[in-house]
Structure 1
Amino acid sequence: MKTSVLTAELGSEIEQVWNAVTDNRNYQWRSDISEVEWIDIGRSFIEKAKNGIKTEFYITNKITCKVYEMDFHNKNLKGHFCGQFERTVSGGTRLTLTETVQFRSLWIAIAAGVTGALKRMQKNYVSDLKRLLAKA
Structure 2
Amino acid sequence: MAESTWRRARQRAGRVLKSPLASQRLAAASAAKAWANRDRLGEAWERLQLAGGMLRDWSLRRYPEAPWATLITVAAVLIYFLMPLDAVPDMILGVGLLDDLVVLNRAWRWIGSDLEKYRLWRDGQDPEGRSANRSS
**Is TM-score (shorter-chain normalized) higher than 0.5?**
no
- When the two structures are superposed, what TM-score results if normalisation uses the length of structure 1? 0.29
- When the two structures are superposed, what TM-score results if normalisation uses the length of structure 2? 0.29
Structure having the higher helix fraction is 2
